[in-house]
Amino acid sequence: MSHANPPERADALVEVRGLSTVLNGKTIFDRLDLDIPRGRIVAIMGPSGTGKTTLLRHITGQLRPDAGEIRVDGHDVPTLPRDALFALREKIGYLFQNSALLTDYSVFENVAFPLRQHLRLPEEIVRNVVLTKLQAVGLRGAAGLMPHELSGGMARRVALARAIVRDPMLILYDEPFVGLDPIALNQILKLIRTLNDTLGITSILVAHEFDAVARAADEVYLIAGGKVAAHGTPAELARGESAWTKQFFGGEADGPVPFQYPARDYAADLGFPERTR
C-alpha cells in the first residue's frame, strides 16, 4: 500500500497531476495526483465531502480546476475547446446515483436515448443495439416497462445499459450501491466486473461500501484532506495501519475525521464564568 503520489504509468487512461480545487472557500483538492489504468476498475473512496463526485466532474470537464492537469486518453480536459470536449464525453458512460431515468420514456427508449440524440441510425440497428445492451444486464424482457414499474435494482441496471449503449472507453459510477438490497447489490457488482472484463472498459467507482468495493475493484484510492491518503489493492488497504485507513475502513467514530466539529471552549459556550488557575 502506498501513501505517496503514484508513479507515472504508461497504461493510464486517466492521469491527474497537481489537481487543486477550492469551492466556496474550502480546499477540496491540494495538488492531488492519481492514475486510472486502462481496462481496470479503480475505486475512489474517502470521507463525505472529500470531493469524490467533484473528481468525476473534473474528469468530464464539467468543472475546471484552479490548477493542475486532468488528462483523459491523452487529452488535457480543462484546455479542450467545446467541440473536442463534447466528443470526448461521448466516449464516457456515466451511471448516476439515482439512475436518472427519463420517467416518461420506457426502458427501451431510455436506453435508446443516447443513440437517438447523437447518431442517425436506422431503426433496426437502434433496436438491435438496445436489446443487446438490455440482454447484457438481464433486462431484455423489461424493454416495454416504464421506470415506475421497476425496482431500485432494475432501474440501476437499466441506467447501466444506457451507460454502455455507445460502447464507451470509460464508465464513471457515482455511488452505484446506494439503496440496493443485497440481491440487487450483488447483481450490480457482477455486472460491473463482467462488463469491464468482457468489453475492456475502464471503470471509476465512487462508493462508500468497502465490502462491495473489495469484490469489484482492482485498486482503491482513499482521498482525504485533498490528497491521496492511501492507495493499493482492496486487500492492502484493509490491512492498512495508517490513522486514515484504520478510521475509514474500521468505521471508527473519531480519528483524523473528528467526531466533534471545531468549536470554542465548551464552558464559555455554556455561559460559565472563566475559571482562574
* 51 dihedral zone (left: phi>0; alpha: psi -120 to 50; beta): left
Residue 21 pLDDT exceeds 90: yes
Per-residue pLDDT at 61: 93
Determine contact, residues 241/229, Cβ cutoff 8 Å: no
Neighbours of 29 (CB within 10 A): 26
Tell me the pairing of strands 219-224 and 41-45.
parallel
CA-CA distance, 237 to 219, in Å (whole number)? 9
pLDDT digits (tens, 9 = 90+) for 105-143: 999 999 999 999 888 889 999 999 999 999 999 999 999
Residue ranges making up the domain that contains 37:
1-91+169-174+202-255
- Percent of the chain exceeding pLDDT 90 equals 53
User: Residue 22 corresponds to which amino acid?
Assistant: V
Residues contacting residue 146 through CB under 8 Å, at least 6 positions apart: 103, 105, 106, 107
The set of cell numbers assigned to 268 is 464559555
What are the angstrom distances between the C-alpha of 32 and each of 16, 59, 167, 176, 185?
7, 13, 29, 24, 31
3-class state of residue 162 by DSSP: helix
CATH of the domain at 25: 3.40.50.300
Answer whether residue 46 is part of any domain.
Answer: yes
Tell me if 113 is assigned to some domain: no
State the average pLDDT over residues 159-169. Answer: 92
Res. 252 pLDDT band, cuts 50 70 90: low
Question: What's the pLDDT at 78?
Answer: 93
Residue 146 included in any domain: no
DSSP character string of 237-251: HHT--SHHHHHHHHT
Residue 241: predicted pLDDT: 65
Domain contains 164: no
Residue 4's pLDDT is what? Answer: 47
Mean pLDDT of the chain: 86
Q: What does the pLDDT read at residue 3?
A: 47
Residue 238: its pLDDT value, please? 79
Residue 121 in any domain: the answer is no
Q: What percent of the chain has pLDDT over 70?
A: 85
- Return the pLDDT at 120: 84
Return the pLDDT at 177: 87
In a domain, 27, yes or no: yes
**Alpha carbon distances (Å) from 71 to 44, 55, 75, 132, 203:** 17, 12, 5, 31, 15
Range of lowest pLDDT (67-71, 234-238, 245-249): 245-249
pLDDT at 273: 67
Q: What is the pTM of this model?
A: 0.81
- Asked if residue 23 belongs to a domain, the reply is yes
Residue 206: per-residue pLDDT: 93
In a domain, 44, yes or no: yes
Count of domains in the chain?
1
